Amino acid sequence: MNRIRIALFLAMMGLFIAGAGAAEAADTAIAGPYQPTWKSLEGHRIPEWFRDAKFGIYTHWGPVTVGCEDCRNGGQWYGREMYEPNSAVFKFHKARFGEQNKVGYKDIIPLFKAEKFNADTWAELFARSGARFAGPVAVHHDNFAMWDSQVTPWNSAQMGPHRDITGELAKAIRKRGMKLITTFHHGFAWRYYEPAFAYDAADPKYAQLYTEPHKKDAPPSPAFLNQWLAMVDEAVIKYRPDMIWFDFELGEVITPEYQRRMFADYYNWACADHRQVAVAHKFPDIRQHTGVLDFERGREERLVPYPWLTDTALGPWFHNKYTPYRSLDNLVQAFVDVVAKNGCLLLDVDPAADGTIPGAAQRLLLGMGDWLKLNGEAIYGTRPWIVFGEGPTRTGGKAFSEESDKPFTAADIRFTTRGSTLYAIALGWPRDGKLCIRSLAAGGQHHGNISDVVLLGHRGPLRWTQQAGGLAVALPTEKPCQSAFVFRITGKGLVAGQ
């Protein structure tokens, strides 16, 4: 879609911006059946494709990566921490790039060249990992748009790589049959850059990047809110994402008026485009009206009736050479736990500044793909069972809880269903070769009438008996895979409502 067509669309929305002036949004919005009220927005329904997909990938990547990938002390919020004198990142920046009043974040952007970035290579890896939706962090807290924007000059087509990163990825992802997600974190830019006002951000000519100079904790200005919404709407119209996702600032910085306008604009655009879409965010009070509830590095502790999302990472959010990655066992087990509780997983990948995906990250993604090739029938398109699982280990309950999660054991089992078929997924392999599924005890509440038990990836029958203590399965001598073992259980009365 060329610039003239985009300009026409934005003008129709009342969001057209002439030249490099401030973002000035009119009172009009995208026309359609949804009004910017919670009552109207409650009419939107989460699409079935999202409930079926289960697994998506996104990428934290941009100018932040240039600063943080060699920083031993993290730097995941590099654009903020580089301006905080007591931060180790401040000292790193000064030693590596120069004093902050001479080399600010705006001067890091030209160093982000992405010279080895290949959208098809990324998309092929994501497809091989088993992801059913994927896409970029379209704009992070640094307010730098990873697309060809007319709303802000601080974008990847005009600076840094001089490429439309989001456009290239959108094309490559859709070519491989995946849905497109774009995530937006720029609402926090209003707070993110506050330490920078003691340095180069004090110059108002950089306000479209750093935001207007303001006092700490001042409410966001109309100009900032208008630019925030204009950037979202521009990316939606230009790249037609099937899902958009918002970080914590949606409820902490963006005002309710603009929250509602964003939802209404996206839903109305989707209706006009005949597209089933979803919006993910982190606020239970907003979810009561609309959207998909997301838990950052955490998850629900129980089975809930509504679909939800967890976003977590292979390791660091932005690439950092000194931060370790999680294990494949940990990743697969967490994924299964999420799906059993009616959730989906959004997994972050951390490309290097040059656009290559680190080898360790690639191996984890391919390992996930191998597991899903064998066991995907127990994941894709499934729905929860009567109970999410059994066993001693409980996880979740809030965001940022995964670091305190205890390791799963061979007694931990999770359940999913597809039609009249029940899947029991053992999160460990019993040392004695005997698995007992207590939820399927003979005469128990959910026992049903079992006719067959199959271990996916194992050739040949299994020996099993349904006893008073549970469904007892004698395991084969060889494991069919290395992480989480899926048993397909068929019979009558196993799945409620079938």
In a domain, 200, yes or no: no
Predicted TM-score (pTM) of the model is 0.94
Same domain, 349 and 409: no
Region 265-294: mean pLDDT is 97
pLDDT digits (tens, 9 = 90+) for 321-342: 999 999 999 999 999 999 999 9
In a domain, 416, yes or no: yes
Q: What phi, psi does 20 have (nearest 5°)?
A: -105, 25
Same domain, 231 and 302: yes
Nearest CA among 439, 441, 435, 428 for reference residue 474: 435
Nearest CA among 467, 478, 405, 476 for reference residue 439: 467
Same domain, 355 and 421: no
pLDDT band at 141 (very low <50, low <70, confident <90, very high): very high
User: Interior CA angle at 487 toward 481 and 493, to 5°?
Assistant: 170
Pairing of the two strands 449-455 and 55-59: unpaired
d(CA 139, CA 182): 9
Question: Which ranges in 71-215 belong to alpha helices (H)?
Answer: 78-81, 88-96, 105-108, 119-128, 165-175, 189-192, 207-210
In a domain, 103, yes or no: no
* pLDDT value of position 496: 72
* pLDDT value of position 267: 98
In a domain, 96, yes or no: no
96 pLDDT above the threshold of 80: yes
* pLDDT value of position 10: 52
In a domain, 4, yes or no: no
Same domain, 373 and 469: no
CATH code of 439's domain: 2.60.40.1180
* pLDDT value of position 459: 94
d(CA 310, CA 45): 19
Higher pLDDT pick, 126 / 443: 126
In a domain, 87, yes or no: no
19 pLDDT above the threshold of 80: no
Same domain, 355 and 442: no
pLDDT digits (tens, 9 = 90+) for 282-314: 999 999 999 999 999 999 999 999 999 999 999
20 pLDDT above the threshold of 50: no
Domain that holds residue 416: 389-492
Region 2-15: mean pLDDT is 46
Burial track 473-494 (b if 16+ CB lie within 10 A, e otherwise): bebbeeeebebbbbbbbbbeeb
pLDDT digits (tens, 9 = 90+) for 169-223: 999 999 999 999 999 999 999 999 999 999 999 999 999 999 999 999 999 999 9
Mean pLDDT of the chain: 93
Same domain, 325 and 397: no
Same domain, 350 and 397: no
Same domain, 407 and 336: no
Of 343, 378, 413, the residue at which a domain comes to its end is 378
Same domain, 346 and 407: no
In a domain, 426, yes or no: yes
In a domain, 159, yes or no: yes
Of 353, 378, 403, the residue at which a domain comes to its end is 378
Burial of 4 (0-12, 13-18, 19+ CB in 10 A): exposed
Per cent of the chain over pLDDT 90 is 88
Same domain, 359 and 405: no
Of 145-159, 246-260, 277-291, 394-408, the poorest mean pLDDT is in 394-408
Burial of 21 (0-12, 13-18, 19+ CB in 10 A): exposed
pLDDT band at 28 (very low <50, low <70, confident <90, very high): low
pLDDT band at 404 (very low <50, low <70, confident <90, very high): confident
Nearest CA among 94, 275, 271, 110 for reference residue 179: 275
Which residue type does 368 have? M
Sole residue written with tokens 């087509």: 157
CATH code of 363's domain: 3.20.20.80
Region 102-115: mean pLDDT is 98
* pLDDT value of position 16: 40
Contacts of 208 (CB under 8 A, 6+ apart): 20, 22, 23, 143, 152, 153, 154, 227
Of 322, 353, 378, the residue at which a domain comes to its end is 378
* pLDDT value of position 222: 97
Domain count, the chain: 2
Sole residue written with tokens 């707070």: 191
Same domain, 374 and 393: no
2-11: long-range contacts, CB 8 A cutoff, minimum separation 24 = 3/150, 6/150, 6/234, 6/237, 6/238, 7/150, 9/237, 10/150, 10/151, 10/230, 10/233, 10/234, 10/237
Same domain, 353 and 482: no
